[in-house]
A and B are shown apart, each in its own frame.
Chain A
Amino acid sequence: MFNDPKYNCFTMNEMIKEIISTQKFKDKYPWRTEFKSSLKPMARDKLESGKVVSYQKVIRALIEAPTVDTRTGKVYNLSPVDQKMLACALANDLHTCTEDGPAISFCKQEFPSVYKGNLCALEIINTWLQSGMLQWDPTKQSLLQEWRVTNEPHQPLQAIARFRSLTNQPYF
């Protein structure tokens, strides 16, 4: 996702386009333009490998079959971009980082042994803190407070507890 590979995050062209182009992001995160040049998509060999393509085909076949969500009894309906994102994550042995419940649930149900799981945003920050890549400071703390203003999704209690122990800072 970022030019600097030490962050070990990956994304696709479609996601970058969403971040840059959608009105929602323009309105909600006006600062995103500063970081445009720091974003880059996954390398083509990882994005278009045979394994990614195979996973895409399998996921597509399952969605169209269709596949029933055993928790709800309803049929999974994921967009082509969601399907590609999941295929990239599964093929490259990566966690997903998405808020999308159906996408996560689909992966857990259909690929229980292969899927590494989903990380929330705070968990990613915790990982960087733990590895020493990030040093926490008042500026970063104030940015985190912004999450309440921009109505970001609730982060898991475990992630919040870990954040507090890593930074000795409150989480709103």
Chain B
Amino acid sequence: MEWQGHKLKAFLEENGPTISELALKIGISRQSISSWIAGQAPKGEHLMALCESLNSDPSFFFKTEVPHTDLPLHRKRGAAKTTDASQKAAQALVSKYSLLFRQYPSPPITLRISARILDESTAEKTALMVREYCKIDSAKPLKIVEAFKLLQRLNIIPIVRRFPESIKSYAFFSKIVGYNVVFINSSSNVLDLVFAILHEAAHAILDLTEVEQKSGDFDFRVEEFADAVANQIQFHPAYLDLVSRSIEGCNIGTQVIKLKKLCAENHHSVYGIYTNLARMGAPIKLSKLDAVKSNSTLRKKTPSLNGVLFQNKKPREYLDLLQNISPSFLKMIQNNLESTSTRKLGELLGIEGEMDAKELREELVTRAGASA
């Protein structure tokens, strides 16, 4: 919202009273009202008196901005669908952060990759560019911390928090006053998050203005393409080759054991590696159902991101982890701590029910003092 002094001027010209009459009624000077018309927002008690006097809603005199939000079509949990309710909930969630980001009017430059055709070959090239840009030399899949480092190198800001129930997604991308932001559902299992993070990173960096927009299925093709890019970033051909050779000649039971071990070590799902191996014609004996079941048992042994962040429920440890995965966001919070209420701090960090926001504030104050 932004104060619109010209709206006050227009209102008074159309409906009265005169500036002098209004000043007398509210008990302030004509100059004060002139300054409001010139663009200076009135103090709270004067705004209250102004609205009472003119019988108007305060929002009439402000310009409202609606933050742009993208919700993925199928980066959801299970068979969940994107609904109007989930879209509204996502926008409401994003709105909580717009004030914080608006205080930093110079968003950093992000890598932009233009794609004209949304096919596997373009996905491969895009993934290669991302890996080179982010200096990912290893052929091994990215682990969760490395996925967050990738976001940092791309100047994409992750916000890690529990999502409302109506947003059945692992993550979603949003632009907030020019910043590329990825909201990450900390209730999600770590195994599910790396791919989701890479998918949203793809959304953030892709320039699709030159792609032909066939009616009806453009959004779906974009989602498929983001999936393909994420897949290519996460599963380097050398790694797939290594896995393929390691399971060659093994019986189904041994293949399951080996795959689960690799998945646990490298933070990816059995299903993810299965689909890649099946696509390349690797000697995989598991069925799709076997892969899904193996996923399920492996997930039970892997924590959610919440489980990692709030393992000991100590503010210091939580902040150390947050510093590691989202340093830019933490810096914004820290810089505005003095004028952010404790409840709002808890809201921004999404720690309600997990940690005392007041203790967290004290820890942040201590850190600020130590670094001063």
Interface residues of A (CB under 8 A from B): 22-24, 54-55, 57-67, 69, 72, 74-79, 81-82, 99-103, 105, 109-114
Contacts and interface: CB of A to CB of B under 8 A. Distances in A.
Contacts of B58: 54, 57-58, 60-61
B79 interface: no
Given A24-B356, A54-B52, A78-B343, 12 more contacts: A22-B353, A23-B356, A54-B48, A54-B51, A61-B1, A74-B335, A74-B336, A77-B348, A78-B341, A81-B343, A82-B343, A112-B45
A74 B358 CA distance: 20
B336 A75 contact: yes
A78 B2 CA distance: 17
Contacts, number: 110
B100 to A, nearest CB: 7
B163 interface: no
B176 to A, nearest CB: 14
Contact of A58 (B51, B341, B356): B51
A61 B47 contact: yes
B1 A69 contact: no
B44 interface: yes
A63 B64 CA distance: 12
B102 A66 contact: yes
Nearest to A114: B45
Contacts of A63: 99
Interface centre among A59, A79, A99, A100 (most CB of B within 10 A): A79
Interface string B83-96: 00000000000000
B2 A65 contact: yes
Interface residues of B, number: 37
A100 B64 CA distance: 28
23 contacts: A24-B356, A54-B52, A54-B58, A57-B58, A59-B44, A60-B58, A61-B1, A62-B41, A65-B41, A65-B62, A66-B103, A67-B41, A74-B339, A75-B339, A76-B340, A77-B99, A78-B340, A78-B341, A78-B344, A99-B358, A102-B339, A103-B341, A111-B43
B342 interface: yes
Given A58-B47, A110-B45, A111-B44, A64 B1 contact: yes
Given A66-B99, A67-B41, A77 B51 contact: no
B59 interface: yes
Interface centre among B59, B340, B347 (most CB of A within 10 A): B340
Contacts of B346: 79
B120 interface: no
B57 interface: yes
A148 B140 CA distance: 53
A79 B48 contact: no
Q: Nearest 9 CB-CB pairs, A to B?
A: A110-B44, A64-B1, A79-B343, A74-B339, A79-B344, A24-B356, A61-B58, A69-B339, A77-B340
Contacts of B274: none
Contacts of B165: none
B338 interface: yes
A67 B356 CA distance: 27
B3 interface: yes
A74 B332 CA distance: 11
Given A67-B41, A72-B338, A77-B100, A62 B343 contact: no
Contacts of A58: 44, 47-48, 51, 58
B45 A111 contact: yes
A102 B44 contact: no
A72 B336 CA distance: 9
Contact of A62 (B47, B335, B353, B359): B47
Given A65-B3, A79-B347, A111-B44, A100 B342 contact: yes
A160 to B, nearest CB: 22
